[in-house]
Structure 1
């Protein structure tokens, strides 16, 4: 059985508060850049996982492009 650290209320406008004990444990986790992912496992249990929001800076440079043409040349190629 899992160790319950805290409980929280679900308010009538469907808002939740992250319990203080959880916020303190993850105090270095920047909440402004956080997305909460919700899922349900095979036992119909709710799984809640925080993750860092992906920004443009996170994805720049991931894809390598060996094509030396620029956008203008590519557009011109459409009309040939």
Structure 2
């Protein structure tokens, strides 16, 4: 499966930065899945679970607050004041 760069950013720090094969975020449109080479997208986030599928076939799960998801140029970025591992 192809990979893309993912960054999880709070005002204080970068919580995660690395390659992922899949991202599933809670957005106002409902659960939103992102794969490599996804079309450009900006979407508001709903507080909820964020799931990252890593290249080594493991998952990293985070809890996010409100914020937004930005996808472009084979890169996804999550911006939220609250991002914590669960």
TM-score by length of 1: 0.26
More helix by share: 1
Bigger radius of gyration: 1
Q: TM-score, normalised by structure 2?
A: 0.25
Which of structures 1 and 2 has the larger relative contact order (alpha carbons within 8 angstroms, sep 6+)?
2
Select the structure that is richer in strand: 2
